[in-house]
Amino acid sequence: MRDEFPEPTQLQAVSRRRFLQISLVGGAALLAGKSDVIFGADTSKTSKMTINTTFTFGGDLTVNRLGFGAMRVTGQGIWGWPPDRKNALKVLRRVVELGVNLIDTADAYGPDTSELLIAEALYPYPKGLVIATKGGLTRPGPGQWVPNGRPEHLMQAVDGSLKRLRLERIDLYQLHTVDPKVPIEESVGALKQMQDAGKIRHVGLSNVDPDEIARARKIVPIVSVQNRYNIEDRKSENVLAHCENENVGFLPWFPIGGGGGLKPENPLNAAAKAHRVSVVQVALAWLLERSDVMLPIPGTSSVAHLEENVAAAKFKLTPEEWKAIDALAG
């Protein structure tokens, strides 16, 4: 499997806009407060399963399951500095205030800009904050994403991320994609060298299939996989199943999808109306209930949208609602 890399800003902007256009509810109940409030279970409603609110990577790195993707704090086209730098810093600081302790980024976001902004906003980092970053995609220009999985490039990329993030060790470093010109064994071999040197704590993969995961695991332990996955796009269902079997974290990118094929009367809208939330929150809640290894990382450049996303962790769908939404993929 090899995913395309279309313009990320357009993908995610369309996602939220189209979901909100089909929503029957104009507003969302936003939460602001401590992590024990945001991530507390709502026992007044039943759900498909008992939901674990945290996940532990590699047996020793525990995070809340709803994270934050820091791609969209950069400029238009995921290129350069944001038009409102103060707002980007405000969003990143609000992430931590809301109890989110997993921030996902990459050297390709900007390039470099996202990592620099994270350090500017949050360094010295609060205890327990996990910053996951990625390498292996280069950016010749806006809207361009070119794989580079050569070992020498990846080792330089790790050092660059360490410097920009002001870290001595990266808790979770992910291969951003498999370079078709470089065997995955060589790419992850470089990451293992950096792990052995104490520069990486855990290694993850992104945009991979089960065979590539198996090949990588022969070289180094893999604790996470980041593939495209949402209510309408479940091409990575076999990858998710693999992650569940191996207790590997699954970080779905583009987690709220596009909602383009849904009729106005659909289970997403029905659940949103019943819970008095937005369909975006329903989509995130569905992911959280889909699997205990699922760690959605929705991104935004808006504090209001951030608060809305994080609030999705506070409620549960009923089993009937969850099954109805799950059937949308069919």
Q: Which residues contact 203 (CB under 8 A, 6 or more apart)?
A: 172, 173, 174, 175, 188, 191, 192, 195, 220, 221, 222, 223
Lowest mean pLDDT among 49-63, 65-79, 231-245, 287-301: 49-63
Where residue 37 falls among pLDDT bands split at 50, 70, 90? very low
Q: Which residues contact 106 (CB under 8 A, 6 or more apart)?
A: 71, 114, 115, 133, 134, 135, 137, 174, 176
Catalytic residue (choose from 109, 123, 125, 173): 109
Do residues 51 and 325 make contact, with C-beta atoms less than 8 angstroms apart?
no
Q: Tell me, letter by letter, the H, E, C secondary structure of 86-148.
A: HHHHHHHHHHHHCCCCEEECCCCCECCHHHHHHHHHHCCCCCCCEEEEEECEECCCCCCCEEC
For residue range 18-31, list pLDDT tens digits in order: 444 433 333 332 22
pLDDT of 257: 72
Query: Is 109 a catalytic site residue?
Result: yes
Cα→Cα distances 244→14, 75, 222, 230, 238, Å: 30, 35, 13, 16, 10
Report in angstroms the alpha-carbon separations of 190 from 97, 158, 282. 35, 10, 40
The pLDDT tens digits for 38-75 are 443 332 333 434 568 999 999 999 999 999 999 999 99
Burial status of residue 135 (CB atoms within 10 A of its CB: 0-12, 13-18, 19 or more): buried
Mean pLDDT of 279-308: 95
Q: Given the structure tokens 């500095």, which residue do they identify?
A: 81
